[in-house]
Amino acid sequence: MRKIQIVRGTIGVAGAVAVAELASRSGLVDPAALPAASTVLQRAAELTVDGEFLADVTDTLKAWLGGLALATLIALAAGLALGSTPWLGRASRIVVEFMRPIPSVALIPLAIVTFSSATQSKMALVCYAATWPILINTLYALRDVDPLAKETLRSFGFGPAAVLLRVNLPSIAPFVATGVRISASVGLVVVISTELVAGGEGIGSYLTETQSGGGRPDLMLAGAVWAGVLGLLINAVLVAAERRAFRWHTVRTGASA
Amino acid sequence: MLEIENLTHAYGSGPLIVGGIDLRVEAGELVSIVGPSGCGKSTLLRCIAGLQRPSGGLVTKDGKVVEQVPDDLAVVFQDYSRSLFPWLSVRDNVALPLRRRGLKRAARHEAADQALESVGLAEAGSKYPWQLSGGMQQRASIARALAYRPTLLIMDEPFGSVDAQTREDLEDLLLSVRGNGGMTILLVTHDIDESVYVGDRVVVLTKSPTRVRADLRVGLPAKRDQITTRGLPEFVHLRAEVGRLVRGIGTPVQSAS
Ligand SMILES: Nc1ncnc2c1ncn2[C@@H]1O[C@H](COP(=O)(O)OP(=O)(O)OP(=O)(O)O)[C@@H](O)[C@H]1O
Ligand SMILES: [Mg+2]
């Protein structure tokens, strides 16, 4: 099953690269605007030893990780507080559903004027965007914790704190992890978008710089390739971590592929 | 040990389920409770365990009114598979309540392994509940309750999913526990033979809103075994009597009160 997926994926990527290569070489598109795929891949390989680019990647990842970690803490704390008080939870769900669709990219100008440093703005925006998926998953998962599991612990004389720690948290953990994974992808989009607009350091800024003044489309696309690869890697690592940590959940729900 | 006075219960504004139960249980007694399906047996047990605040009436354990879950209580829930925690191994499931006893990790695991062995699950400790058959899960939840060594053990149809041979073994295990532990046991069962075989008394409930229809003392010797006891005239007579009462025919008797 997994092997077939990998083979299919590889064929798909190879096919896309071949089409892009052909489009450029045949003169279908202007090679100055869209360099041959082979050239882009070669530049991408060269970027792995380009100190400046690596510093940009580090910067992007730092802002991303900081914002994501902060969002996880905030969403989990808020989710537990809202989920443990039924009326507060009901009231807050409406607010959450209303706030969530606000695209965080629309808040970039606000973040720029609010925070003095570019890193802070990026982190704040990632944090804002990443909070919602985690918060919503936490709220819904808390609502669905099996009452009999809680009752079992209570029947042995455990108090509310123990129920929270030993039943609620383990029950919601897989759903929170899924929220974190969704937020991780969203956060990467947000951090790079912010860099595109606000400048400073980071992959987004690298893309703007290589694009400006005639520019180097080969380098720009090589940078974009790495942004894509980062997204894929992050997702793959998180999926693997979830599978490992929550085997009891995937097996029971039959969600294991 | 346990005194129940005019206990009534209705869920929310729904119909009356428990219609007024009076019951006295002495320390060390094993009281079998039988009644028609859906008459409110589980509801009655939840009220006695302090998991559900009854609509009316009073439950007193050791002279104290039960308002929350009392100390030294263990419940084997009817829905055993939901009452085991899927994120914990079977051993950890059994060991978890022992935290309330202030036992160290090694001592908890030793007690858990002992209890698992007593229900014939010596090999299953490191497995997860969802890797076990229904009957094995049921035995694991019985082991968890036994390992806790409660003074009051409440069991809600605990042998429903096990095969006939294991069922007899578990009935004998229960008899031996009662013999040397001083444990008071309430056992809900739909098996009339079983209610007589393990019980000191058999309490027959009416259909909902349930009341005590009959309270029969089991005049069998304390030492029982599957072959001889089931052949005794007293056994044959009692099971016929209980059978008639459960079906709603025959005269209610109050031989025990
Ligand atoms: N949490 C609940 N909320 C509302 N109604 C409930 C609840 N639990 C049980 N009931 C209702 O109470 C009645 C008695 O249920 P209960 O489970 O106590 O009966 P029972 O005798 O244990 O049944 P069974 O023989 O199937 O185990 C049923 O009609 C059931 O629908
Ligand atoms: Mg029941």
Q: Is the same domain home to B118 and B232?
A: no
Instruction: Judge whether B256 lies within some domain.
Output: no
**Do B167 and B197 share a domain, yes or no?**
yes
Tokens of A5: 């997926």
* Within-domain flag for B12: yes
How many Cα atoms sit within 13 Å of A161 on the Cβ side? 0
Q: What is the pLDDT of residue B254?
A: 59
What residues make up the domain containing B203?
A: 2-72+150-247
Ligand 1: which residue has its CA nearest to atom 7? B11
Of the ranges A195-199, B51-55, B140-144, B231-235, which one carries the lowest mean pLDDT score?
A: A195-199
A120 Cα–ligand 2 center, Å: 57
Q: Do residues B164 and B145 both lie within one domain?
A: no
Range B134-154 average pLDDT: 94
The answer to whether residue B57 sits within a structural domain is: yes
Indicate the residue of B69, B70, B83 with minimum beta-carbon distance to A148.
B83
Residues B177 and B243 in one domain: yes
Domain-terminating residue out of B149, B164, B189: B149
* CA distances (Å), origin B190, targets B33, B57, B160: 8, 26, 9
Report CB contact under 8 Å: B75, A158: no
- Site to substitute for ligand 1 among B7, B8, B9, B11, most atoms within 8 A of C-beta: B11
For residue B226, being part of any structural domain is answered with yes
pLDDT at site B257: 46
Any idea what the CATH number is for the domain that residue B179 is in?
3.40.50.300
| Other C-beta atoms lying within 10 Å of the C-beta of residue B183 | 22
A35-256 in CATH: which number? 1.10.3720.10
Is residue B215 domain-resident? yes
B120 pLDDT higher than 60: yes
Q: Are B184 and B59 in the same domain? A: yes
The CA distance from B218 to B47, in Å, is 26
Domain ranges of chain A: 1-34, 35-256
pLDDT in tens, B6-27: 999 999 999 999 999 999 999 9
Q: How confident is the model at residue B196 (pLDDT cuts 50, 70, 90)?
A: very high
Q: Is residue B22 part of a domain?
A: yes
- CB contact under 8 Å between A170 and B69, yes or no, is no
Same domain, B228 and B188: yes
Whole-number Cα distances in Å, A194 to A162, A181, A199: 42, 20, 8
Strands laid side by side in the B201-205 sheet: B73-76, B152-156, B184-188, B30-34, B201-205, B212-217
Same domain for B96 and B44: no
Looking at this predicted complex, what is its ipTM? 0.89
> Are B37 and B120 part of one and the same domain?
no
Would you state the pLDDT for residue B255? 55
- Examine the domain organization and report whether B143 and B163 are in the same domain: no
Cβ–Cβ pairs < 8 A, chains A and B: 56
Closest-CA distance, B32 to chain A, in angstroms, reads: 20
Instruction: Identify whether residues B62 and B132 lie together within a single domain.
Output: no
Domain count, chain B: 2
Determine the average pLDDT of the residues in B202-222.
93
Q: Pick the residue from chain A with its C-alpha nearest to B84.
A: A149
The answer to whether position B50 is within a domain reads: yes
Shared domain check, B108 and B212: no
Q: Residue A230 burial (CB < 10 Å; 0-12/13-18/19+)?
A: middle
Same domain, yes or no, for B135 and B176?
no
Domain boundary among B120, B149, B178: B149
Q: Tell me the residues of A at the B interface, defined by beta carbons under 8 Å apart.
A: 146, 148-149, 151-158, 166-167, 170-171, 173, 248-249, 251-252
Ligand 2 mean position to B231 CA, how many Å? 30
How close is the Cα of B40 to the center of ligand 2, in Å? 7
Q: Running DSSP on this structure, what letter comes out for residue A145?
A: S
More confident residue, A130 or A96: A130
pTM of the full structure = 0.86
Decide which of B125, B149, B173 is a domain's last residue: B149
Question: Average model confidence (pLDDT) for chain A?
Answer: 88
pLDDT class of B253 with cuts at 50, 70, 90: low
* Residue A256 confidence class, pLDDT cut points 50, 70, 90: very low
